[in-house]
Amino acid sequence: MAKKKRKDKEFVGSGDVTFKKISLRDFVSGRIFTREVVVKQLPFFLFLTMLAFAYISNHFKVEKLLKRAAELNKEIQELQIEAITTSSDLMYFSKQSVISNKVREAGVELEELTEPPRKIIVKKTD
């Protein structure tokens, strides 16, 4: 048995569009944009264009944020180095020998203790 041809179309308007040859002259003159197929697809092309702009904008924002993060990391490293250097200098200048040399150079009449300090205990009276 031969198969019957279906008279009802699967998609509405599926047979309405006929494809004509597209030449280079159509592109140059702009007639390609007046064809029915292109005009029907125009909202989709606009959507793709907006999506491309959003993608490019997002890429630039991320690139800017990454650049700022790299700058901040570099600044953090510099501040850490400065903090370590400052604490090292402070430890050096707080040594007893360095302090006694500075006092002698300044001409202040101070003497070093030869005996350890004593604790004074005060008893409370009721």
Residue 35 domain-assigned (yes or no)? yes
Q: Report the mean per-residue pLDDT for the chain.
A: 84
pLDDT digits (tens, 9 = 90+) for 91-119: 999 998 898 889 889 988 888 888 898 89
- Compare 107 and 83 and report the one with higher pLDDT: 83
Which of 14-28, 33-47, 67-81, 99-113 has the least mean pLDDT?
14-28
Phi first, then psi: give them for residue 124, nearest 5 degrees: -80, 140
Residue 40 domain-assigned (yes or no)? yes
**Which pLDDT belongs to residue 28?**
77
pLDDT band for position 57 (cuts 50, 70, 90): very high
Residue 12, pLDDT above cutoff 90: no
Residue 8 domain-assigned (yes or no)? no
**Which pLDDT belongs to residue 108?**
86
* Domain region containing 66: 24-105
Residue 95 domain-assigned (yes or no)? yes
**Which pLDDT belongs to residue 73?**
98
**Which pLDDT belongs to residue 109?**
83
Tell whether pTM > 0.85: no
Residue 99 domain-assigned (yes or no)? yes
Angle, CA 23 vertex, CA 30 and CA 34 arms, to 5°: 35
Domains held by the chain: number? 1
Residue 30, pLDDT above cutoff 60: yes
Residue 92 domain-assigned (yes or no)? yes
Q: Which residue has the tokens 């050096």?
A: 92
Residue 1 domain-assigned (yes or no)? no
Q: Taking every pair of C-alpha atoms in the chain, what is the biggest distance, in angstroms?
A: 127
DSSP 33: G
Residue 29 domain-assigned (yes or no)? yes
Calpha distance 116→23 (Å, rounded): 105
In 3D, which of 102, 122, 121 has the Cα closest to residue 112? 102
